Chains A and B, each alone.
Chain A
Amino acid sequence: MAYHIDLNGTRYNFPSLKGLLARASPERSGDALAGLAADGPLERIAAQHCLADVPLSDFLADVLEVEGDGVTALIMAQHDTRAFAPVASLTVGGFRDWLLDPATTGQTLARLAPGLTPEMVAAVSKIMRAQDLIAVAAKVEVVTRFRSTIGLRGRLSTRNQPNHPTDDSRGIALSALDGLLMGAGDAVIGVNPATDSLPDYIRICEVLDAIRTQLEIPTQTCCLGHVTTALAAMEARAPVDLVFQSVAGSDKANAGFGVTLSLLDEAAEAVASLNRAPPGANLMYFETGQGAALSADAHHGMDQQTMEARAYAVARRYRPLLVNTVVGFIGPEYLADGKQITRAGLEDHFCGKLLGLPMGVDVCYTNHAWADQDDMDILLTALATAGVNFVITVPGGDDIMLNYQSLSFHDAAYIRDTLGRPPAPEFAEWMARHGIGTPDADLPPLDAALSHLRLPAA
C-alpha cells in the first residue's frame, strides 16, 4: 500500500509502509548504507508527519512483504486482538499521545504488550523524542527471576562480563571477582567465549559455576556460545544455567546466526529439563542489535530499527530472563557516532519494554566510531532513568577479548550512588552479608584470588 503527504506545497510519496518507516527513521548511517534513508531532514520530517496519520491497524498486514518469512508468521501468531483493543482505533500519532498520557499506567501497558506488534512500536518510536522514549519506558516494569529477581522498579542489575582473549580459566575468574568486589553480576555472570569449541564451553560453565557456588552468590551464569554448543554441553551434563543466542528479525538473518525457531524451541526445552532453577524461572538469554540483519544482507528493504524490533518477537516467544541490545558494538557503518548510538539505545530499550521484554543494554562503542566515554555516561544515565533492567560491565570498561569499550563496574556504582538504584534484592542482601563495598569485604582480594578459589583444571 502506498502513502503520501502534501506538505508546504510539495507532495511526498512513499511506495510502501516499510518504505515509509525507513524514511521516517531518525538519521543513522546504517539506513544510508542500505540506501533506505530519507534524502534529508525535510523528507524525513514529511515521512514522520505521514506516519503519524497511519492507523495502527495498517501494521497488522505483512509489513516486511517477504513470502514465507517465519518471523512474520510468528508476529502474526503472537498478536492478541483482545489485548490490542484499547488502541485498535488509534493512529501512530494518537498512540504516541496515549502512551504519554499520565492516565496510561504501567499496568495498562503490561496488558497491552501482547496486542502490539514490533512494527507498531518501531513506528511510534520514530516520532518520539528521547524524553518520550524514557518517560514511557519508565512506566513499564518487566520482572524476571532465576536465583535473583531482575527488573524490579527502582533497581539496576548488571551483567558481569569477565571475557578473556584465550578463555583462560584464571583470567576469567580474576575479572569476575573484580566485578563481584564492586557488586557487579546480579543479572548474570556471562562470558563470551573466544572459541566455539565444546570443551571450552563446558570448562567456562564449570569455572563460572565454581565461583558462584564457592562464594554462594545468588545469581546465574552463562557461557555465550552458540545454541548448538549449548545443546551439546547440556547433553554432556555441563552446569548450564541459561541458554544464550543472538537473534534477529528475519528467517534469513537468523540463518546467518545459524539458528531457526525450531532449534531455539529445542534448546528452551532442554534447559528447562535440567531443573537448575526454581519452578517458573526464566531460562533464556538473547542479544540483538540494530544492523545485524543488514550485515547479513537479510533486511529485505526494511530499516534497521524496525528490523531490530522484529527480533524482539523472536525473543519474547521464550520468556527470557535477559535480553540486551549490543547497541554500539556493530560499528559506525550502522551507528556512526555518540548521538546515533544514544538514540538507538533508547529506542531499543523502549521497543523491548513495550513488547514485554526484560530489556537490558550493552552501553558500548568501538574505536572506529565517533564516540567516547562521555557518550556512554549520558546513555547510561538516560537508560537508568528509563528503568533499564540491566547493563553490561567489564573491568575498567575495556573488553580485552572483543576489543570494544563497554561500561566499567565503577560506572554501575555511579548510577547506584547518584540515582539510588540498588541491585536485585537477593544480591543486595548477599553484598551486605559479605561487606561488599566496605573495607571489611570478606571475599578474597584479587591478590589472593588465585590461591583461594578452587577452579576446575584447564
Chain B
Amino acid sequence: MEQNKKLVEVQNLKQYFPVAGSKFFEKKVVKAVDDVSFYLNKGETLGLVGESGCGKTTTGRTLLRLYEPTSGRIIYDGETIFDSGDVPLYNEDGTVQTDEKGNVKYGRKTAVNMLPYRRKMQIVFQDPYASLDPRMTVGDIVGEAIDIHHLAASKQDRRDRIIALLERVGLNSEHANRYPHEFSGGQRQRVGIARALAVNPEFIVCDEPISALDVSIQAQVVNMFEELQEKEGLTYLFIAHDLSVVKHISDRIGVMYLGRMVELADSYELTFHSVHPYTRSLISAIPIADPVTSRQSKRIVLEGDVPSPVNPPSGCHFRTRCPFADKLCEQEQPKWTEVGPGHYAACHHLDKVK
C-alpha cells in the first residue's frame, strides 16, 4: 500500500458563522474554525480532540463541504475540490509559492460538484438516535446511497448489497426490514456505519461515533472501526472529546481550542511528550481508570471556563486560562511551529512549558 501519500489536505480552512441578532453594520461572526491546516495520509487515522465548542465537528463537516467553507482550500487525492481563491499556493515543503517578481501565487477559485466525491468521502454522525430517519427501514437507510449513486444493477443486487453491508458491521439480513427504534444504541451506530460504507468510501469522518454509547458497547464499535480499516485500508478523521479513545485509535492527533489547532503530533508523542500547556492540562484532567496511578498523578486543574467563541480573547485564545500567559500572548497570535519531526504546536512559551 502506498504509505505517506496525502489523501486529504486542508489549507487555511476557515468557517465563520454569522451571529443572529448582530447589528446590520457590524455583522458579528463566530469563528468556528479559524485557519486550520492539516492533512491525512492514505490509510491513517487522524484524531481531533477538544472541548465542546472548539470547532472539531465543524472542521469535519466543512471538510466534506456539508458547510460551504468561508475560506481555505480542500484537496482530495490530488484534486482541489474547494478553493476560495484567497489562499496562497503551497509547495511540497509547506513554503508559499511565488512568481518571478516575488508575488504570492493564489489558487483559482474552485467549487466542484461534490456528488462524485460523496462516493469517496462519507461521515458517521454522533447521535445514532437522531441521524437515522425513523420512518425508513434499515434496509432503505443503507440502500439510499446505493440508489443515489446507481450502484445496484437490479433489485436483487441492491438487496444483496444491503445484506452484505449489514453483515459487515455485525448485523444480519433480518434486520433490513426493521425500523431504527427497534435497535439499541450500539446497533443503530452500526447501521450508521453500514450507511457510510454503502458507497465503498476511501475516507470517513467519524464525528464522535461512540460518545452516545455505553462503555461495554464502545469497545465493540472501536474494534469494528479498526477491523474495517485493516481490511479495506480506510482513512479516518476521528473526532471525539475523549482523548483516551482517540489515542487508542489514532496514528496522529490534533488538539483544537476555540477554533484553532494548538498542537498536532503522533499520538504517542502527543500523550507522553506534549508541549502545549492546553494539551498538557487536557491530558492531566482525564481521570485514569487505575487507582494507584490516579492517586499519584498530579492534576493540572485549569482555572475558569472556555471563553465565548463570539468574543474570543485577543492574541492566543488560551491565554485567559494559561499559567504561562504574559503580555506577548495578549498581543500576538502564536505561530504554528514544528517542534519535533511531525510535531507542531502554537505557543509563545514552548521553552517555559518544558
Does B bind A? no
Q: Which residues of A contact B (CB under 8 A)?
A: none
Q: Which residues of B contact A (CB under 8 A)?
A: none
